Chain A
């Protein structure tokens, strides 16, 4: 059991580091998907551990939400790209100044 959880955590960590180091917004987004998938794996594993299907239902909902999120997120990336001709997250620094 623990190896599944460990794998899930490792994937999650890799996803998180990817979010931090990559600058292409699309790849950053992929890393977020990786993190979501890692949690899904944990859900499914815990579902088996406890012998009920609630974890799988949770994973299912995560997938639905992820699908919606991807649609909106990618639209945002496309509209940013159209406006600024770049997909680097470092160019969107309007939080400052």
Chain B
């Protein structure tokens, strides 16, 4: 019972986080928390096999799949800012409240009778009991499950498969297209500069600098731009360089050490 009373608030809060989280990744993490807690509750209720399956299948496989798709689709694809349906949130909350209160009060209270417990059913270990049911009473459903899984796998492959409608463009095509774009819009035909190359910091979150000192935003990965983690240290860096130049004249400057290799 203690387990329950510890986990239940955590689960409810995590579940609410699913509703209120701004970023999809946070929502996914909250869901993972709920699922792990559920696994613990399974274990507490005499279902060790489901405990293992819950961890492996849900938190292991399904949540990974979710996160994988999140990454694939892009972190930036968060909710549109404006609610499109008038009153949807209000009515959803109201109906949810009514529904929740009703079912908790009504159904929750109508469940009665003594708890039998699974000591007898789990006498030969939980896995053994489940196996007996799965391969005895529910063997047909189990077989159908295999068909379902194969179908689902095939379906996923078909859905994810991208039909090629145009011939693959060759290297000549690509370079011709680049030159054309350069002629039309002035887009640089060559490679983008890599981040940090001309920067003060040799890091992916710092834009490269052009010879005249302007930062090139395009050298940063769009994901980093999306997350707002780009570092614009240019002004500071100029100051630092000025300091360093000054300290070259002054041997007692502490900064000399860092440029020691260049000397």
Using a CB–CB distance below 8 Å, which chain A residues touch chain B? Answer: 1-7, 9-18, 20-24, 26-27, 29-31, 33-34, 37, 40-41, 44-45, 47-54, 56-57, 59-61, 63-72, 74-79, 81-82, 86-88, 90
Q: What 10 new A-B contacts, CB under 8 Å, besides A17-B93, A60-B49, A65-B145? A: A2-B111, A9-B108, A12-B103, A15-B15, A29-B66, A33-B62, A44-B50, A50-B116, A53-B126, A74-B156
Interface string of B1-43 (1 = CB under 8 A from A): 0001000100110011011010010011001001100100110
Using a CB–CB distance below 8 Å, which chain B residues touch chain A? Answer: 4, 8, 11-12, 15-16, 18-19, 21, 24, 27-28, 31, 34-35, 38, 41-42, 45-47, 49-50, 53-54, 57-58, 61-62, 65-66, 69-70, 72-73, 77-80, 83-85, 88-89, 92-93, 95-96, 99-100, 103-104, 107-109, 111, 113, 115-118, 120-122, 126, 129-130, 133-134, 137-138, 141, 145, 148-149, 151-153, 155-157, 159-160, 162
- Report whether A48 and B41 are in contact in the complex, using a CB–CB cutoff of 8 Å: no
Chain A residues in 8 Å Cβ range of B117:
48, 51
Number of A-B contacts (CB under 8 A): 230
A41 to B141, CA, bound (A): 21
- Report whether A63 and B54 are in contact in the complex, using a CB–CB cutoff of 8 Å: yes
> Given A4-B41, A47-B118, A51-B116, A26 and B66 touching (CB < 8 A)?
yes
- Report whether A45 and B62 are in contact in the complex, using a CB–CB cutoff of 8 Å: no
- Report whether A75 and B160 are in contact in the complex, using a CB–CB cutoff of 8 Å: yes
CB distance from B36 to the nearest CB of A (A): 11
A70 to B134, CA, bound (A): 23
- Report whether A30 and B134 are in contact in the complex, using a CB–CB cutoff of 8 Å: no
- Report whether B18 and A27 are in contact in the complex, using a CB–CB cutoff of 8 Å: yes
A9 to B61, CA, bound (A): 25
- Report whether B107 and A49 are in contact in the complex, using a CB–CB cutoff of 8 Å: no
Chain A residues in 8 Å Cβ range of B126:
53, 56
Residue from the list A17, A33, A67, A86 in contact with B92, Cβ < 8 A: A17
- Report whether B108 and A2 are in contact in the complex, using a CB–CB cutoff of 8 Å: yes
- Report whether A1 and B111 are in contact in the complex, using a CB–CB cutoff of 8 Å: yes
